[in-house]
Structure 1
């Protein structure tokens, strides 16, 4: 499991100029990983691989919403005062990491297990997969009524997702960062790539 802050690297803009709130934008990942040692000792580097579901959320600033006009996306001011303007992508990705650090050896009658057991570890690798869906969620008042609106569209989101990731930590907890090399939206004049920083929990 992993969770934390989410935002975008946009051509010609700094993070402070991003149309997405830094504190309000976040990500969550849930999945399953396996480990395979590359050598015979418990301290050998490992391959860590599996599958993860990613939820990347952007919370838009300044009463803006994302609008799809054919093959073009634009940010437009909404007609009412927004309480929430949130765009979310759901992805299924398959990570592959090289993990380094000592492991504790547990010998049993029929097998040998290697666990981290509170020791330092470092991982670096990549991931790739598919976008499963996109959604714009709006909350606002109209004529005194509270309105919740969910808009599910293509939003010109890239169908394939791929990027780089790294983590460093002790035991089950790690500081985790990932960066999508694939653009969030395909064929747009301004390129945008997702970036995330948070905590990762590996239950060995």
Structure 2
């Protein structure tokens, strides 16, 4: 009997030590901790690097047990793009001013995660092109079935831009590190134009602010397609879109390709 007792005591000690080491490991691997109290029980939630959660329940008697959630295979939600547009190609085209050439977008995404280091992101959303000209007195006009750029006769222009909106579909395969602190993805997108217009702001002869609009499409392509890249470092995601199609319809505007870049919120 004494021999059996002597054997059981070390076994119990080693077992409890193993559980303690497992709990300590969960704490060390966690990247975020949340604490709250429920029914006189302290609840500690460790967010692990692999995306799972470890729950620790501590009662008044300092006894605790753990529950670890399974990795989620998918996620979804809304994201916002905040960036700027520019165009490249024809040196004779008006110079675009970065500040004011905004590229906002709102997207609903569904992300499938078959493994820790790979996911497939699909998104549907709406984006806006804004091209603000460096020459504030240069006005974009619809003339004889094409787009022309002319100096405004007032000579007092303060803002000149054209815009277009698109509904888009995007698919981005993405690889990421095991701790989730870095990821890189690149994939195709396609969109269909919803609307567009031109806007010119100037000072009239009385010095008052006046506006002129070119309503309707400014001959932007009806269908756009290209490549999107996303890079995430920690909690910051940077995106870049490059249109493979021409910005304007064939023979109705300068031959240009649009480049957009910014941040995902």
1:30 is displaced (CA, Å) by 1.0
Superposition pairs of residues 157-196 of structure 1, within 5 angstroms:
157-188=220-251, 190-196=254-260
Instruction: Quote the Cα distance in structure 2 between the aligned partners of 1:103 and 1:53.
Output: 32
Q: Are residues 25 and 194 of structure 1, via their aligned partners in 2, closer, same or farther at CA, if it must alter by over 3 Å?
A: same
Task: Name stretches of at least 5 consecutive residues in structure 2 with no aligned partner.
Answer: 1-79
The reply on whether 1:141 has 2:203 as its aligned counterpart is yes
- The list of structure 1 runs, each at least 4 consecutive aligned residues, that deviate by more than 2 angstroms after superposition, is 148-151
- C-alpha contact (below 8 Å) 1:7/1:26 kept by paired residues: no
1:71 is displaced (CA, Å) by 2.8
Q: Which of 83, 90, 96 lines up with 1:20 in the alignment?
A: 96
1:66 is displaced (CA, Å) by 0.9
Instruction: Quote the Cα distance in structure 2 between the aligned partners of 1:169 and 1:18.
Output: 33
The reply on whether 1:67 has 2:129 as its aligned counterpart is no
Superposition pairs of residues 1-204 of structure 1, within 5 angstroms:
1-11=80-90, 13=91, 18-37=94-113, 39=114, 41-43=115-117, 45-62=118-135, 63-80=137-154, 81-102=156-177, 116=180, 119-144=181-206, 145-188=208-251, 190-201=254-265
Higher RCO by CA contacts (8 Å cutoff, separation 6 or greater): 1
- Residues paired across the two proteins, number: 182
The structure with the larger Rg is 2
Q: Which residue of 2 aligns with 1:112?
A: none
Instruction: Quote the Cα distance in structure 2 between the aligned partners of 1:152 and 1:173.
Output: 37
- C-alpha contact (below 8 Å) 1:84/1:140 kept by paired residues: yes
1:32 is displaced (CA, Å) by 0.8
Instruction: Quote the Cα distance in structure 2 between the aligned partners of 1:59 and 1:122.
Output: 31
- C-alpha contact (below 8 Å) 2:164/2:196 kept by paired residues: yes
Tell me which protein shows more strand as a share of its residues: 1
Instruction: Quote the Cα distance in structure 2 between the aligned partners of 1:137 and 1:47.
Output: 39
- C-alpha contact (below 8 Å) 1:130/1:160 kept by paired residues: yes
3-state SS in 2 of match to 1:183: coil
Tell me which protein shows more helix as a share of its residues: 2
Q: TM-score, normalised by structure 2?
A: 0.63
Task: Name stretches of at least 5 consecutive residues in structure 1 with no aligned partner.
Answer: 105-115
Q: TM-score, normalised by structure 1?
A: 0.81
